Amino acid sequence: MKYSIIIPFKRGKEYLRDCLESLAEQIAYKYLDGTPGRGEPTVVDNDGVERLYETQPYRDFEAVIVLDEPLDDVRLLIKEFEGRFPITVVDEFKGTGVSAARNAGIAHAQGEYVYFLDSDDFLHVDALFRMSEGGEENEDPDILYGKKIWSWYSRSGYLAVQLKKQEEREAEREQQARRRVGLKLFFNRLFKGKNADSDDEDDNDEEDKIIAEAVQKIRNKQLAEKAGEKSDKREEDEKLRLKLAEEEYEDLRRKNATRILVYNRNGIGNISVLHVAVKRSVVQEHDITFPEDIRYYADSRFVCEALHYAKTFRKCYRSRYVKRRHNDPINFPSIAQENSENRFDELVKAYEETMDRLPETSTVRFMFDLKFIFYYTGFYVKQIRRSGSDAWRTDRFETMRRIMAKIPVSTRKQVGIYKRRHIKALLAGDVDKAYKLVTRRLAVRKAWKCVISQPTRRKAIYEHIFLKKPVEAKWILFECFFGKSYGDNPKGIYEYVAKNLGPEYRLIWSMEKPGKSSIPFEHKTVRRGSLRYAYYVARCKFFVFNTKQPGWMKKRDEQVFLETWHGTPLKRLAFDMEDNFSAAPGYKKQIYGLTRKWDYLVSANAFSTERFRSCFMYNGKMLEYGYPRNDILHRPDRDELAA
């Protein structure tokens, strides 16, 4: 058995189904459109990049599924896959959490390599085959690692997106081919005495054949160019290998692996064991385990120890792992999306435990120390300036000073002058100096952003000037469809207020194009997104919108927000949706934050009320009185208005 794929599971049955389906796909390779592979050359590889290769299935693996909470429905799901590839289920182990589950998985693994796959992620269709290719080229290295792709979608949604990209590329090739052969087709028609709109079947078949040949030539040329680039890269790599001694070459590969898996990661929390295959013999010989008392940064110790003790490495970038971001961080957050007060303490513990296990001369230790320096000078110092908690300026500051003192002076000298100044202030215990350094740095950056960016300039003026002015009790801001029109429910409420309350209130309309709107009654229009718009957002007491408000709006205690919405929610919205292809990533988190600022939400009927409660997770006051835009249908003079 080559790979033991360890999958810890606690919750998320549908995520687990996608995960196991992706493993089944390794055995029976399919194209992106779902059709079975037939062992012939294809032009679709990994994330839709065209490349010729053999579609070979890969079977030399087992799945070790470690159940933190062994539920019956999960067992039934696993049974569906037991006949498709070897599965070992572990449901009794000491401890709780991902680290304990992974350690239990290692204890039950039988493969030559241990490989960790999160139950909410999935593999690309040929990930294991591509990784095994890397092993064969380097005679089974101690560590194999591939490329991670991030996605907000389920497996079916992800594959649909890749298929769409492939189809777009094919359409682009066909257009290019038609431009190239257009003159040839014209002369064919001309000499045969046919007009350009001829429907002759033989002529159309001949033209289709010419276009198909042109498309194939373009495809072959693109593939040849990519193959040439890869060939040149392999040749350069081979020349380097011949030039260097074997030990020097492997040391270079170690540094490259450490750079990719540790140094290049965005923060210590992103150092991950996912899509890294480590020889089980290395893990057992050096007793490499995951710290079970650490939840958020457990991977860093395992990865750093494995990199330190391994002797041979191989990068397999044609092997792809799809890391799925949870699009509902409110109800189903991933570990990375969780908010916890323990994160700082865990980070310190993870760093110190890792540091104690690595000698100062280790390349891995050097790069890991740099990650800690970057954490302090990039993230921590901002908390000294911004956080309301004194812990960042007292106890935690002293903890950082103690750890920084353990980092070799030679490592601390590798960073720039700004970072060295912060390190000097930290080692001296001078929190005031650190505060001044970061304040000056942030002020300069913000000033520059205000100069080059109008939205940043507007936001700064809004926060530092407009929000300090008092709220006007009789100002009302109306907005319909992001300022695109005068209508819908805001129009109904506006006209009622204008007729019945008259000049007592200042009525302001937010419009995308203020000069092109004919709005009755006395009012003021303001261009949406302008500085004046930000002024009224800061000072108006009442807001009447039928869509989302600006994300940068800071709702003040005195302000009242009335959300009228704009229709009956017959389709699924926000939290009722699984995958949302039309909205930006993080849509649900954004919606959740915006809806917390709504004081009232208008509903047309009981059905809408129920759906709004669900899709917006809204527990505020619901006004189930019907939509104001429909009031005109109930007026006594409705017949006269209709005439």
pLDDT of residue 205: 59
Choice among 11-15, 180-184, 565-569 with the minimum mean pLDDT: 180-184
The winner for highest mean pLDDT among 6-15, 253-262, 552-561 is 552-561
Cα 508 to Cα 517: distance, rounded to the nearest angstrom: 13
Q: pLDDT for 34-87, tens place per residue?
A: 444 444 444 444 444 443 334 467 888 999 999 987 777 898 999 999 888 999
User: Which comes out higher in pLDDT, residue 577 or 457?
Assistant: 457
pLDDT of residue 255: 87
pLDDT of residue 234: 52
DSSP code for 268: G
| CA-based max dimension of the chain | 95
Q: Are strands 143-151 and 276-279 parallel, antiparallel or unpaired?
A: antiparallel
Q: What is the mean pLDDT of the chain?
A: 83
Q: pLDDT for 270-301, tens place per residue?
A: 899 999 999 999 999 999 999 998 888 999 99
509 DSSP β-pair partners: 478, 525
Contact 284, 305 (CB under 8 A): no
Q: Hey, what CATH topology would domain 461-642 get? A: Rossmann fold (3.40.50)
Q: Which CATH number, 3.40.50.2000, 3.30.1360.180, 3.40.50.2300, 3.90.550.10, labels domain 3-158+245-329? A: 3.90.550.10
Q: pLDDT for 321-370, tens place per residue?
A: 999 887 767 777 777 777 777 889 999 999 999 999 999 889 899 999 99
Q: pLDDT for 379-391, tens place per residue?
A: 999 999 998 889 9
Contact 435, 385 (CB under 8 A): yes
Tell me if residue 407 falls in helix, strand or coil.
Answer: coil
Tell me what percent of the residues of the chain surpass a pLDDT of 70.
Answer: 81
pLDDT of residue 38: 40
Q: pLDDT for 92-122, tens place per residue?
A: 877 788 999 999 999 999 999 999 999 989 9
Cα 526 to Cα 458: distance, rounded to the nearest angstrom: 15
Backbone angle region of 428, left / alpha / beta, with phi > 0 → left and psi within -120 to 50 → alpha = alpha
CA proximity to 125, closest of 146, 155, 87, 170: 155
Give the total residue count for the chain.
643
Choice among 6-10, 53-57, 559-563 with the minimum mean pLDDT: 53-57
Cα 362 to Cα 355: distance, rounded to the nearest angstrom: 10
CA proximity to 330, closest of 8, 9, 617: 617
Cα 560 to Cα 573: distance, rounded to the nearest angstrom: 24
Tokens of 585: 């990533």
Choice among 189-198, 525-534, 594-603, 611-620 with the minimum mean pLDDT: 189-198
pLDDT at 419 exceeding the cut of 80: yes
Tokens of 25: 């796909």
pLDDT of residue 251: 76
pLDDT of residue 28: 66
pLDDT of residue 378: 92
Contact 607, 613 (CB under 8 A): no
Cα 127 to Cα 149: distance, rounded to the nearest angstrom: 12
Q: pLDDT for 226-265, tens place per residue?
A: 545 554 455 555 545 555 556 676 778 888 888 899 988 8
Mutual angle of helices 363-375 and 343-356, in 10-degree steps: 160
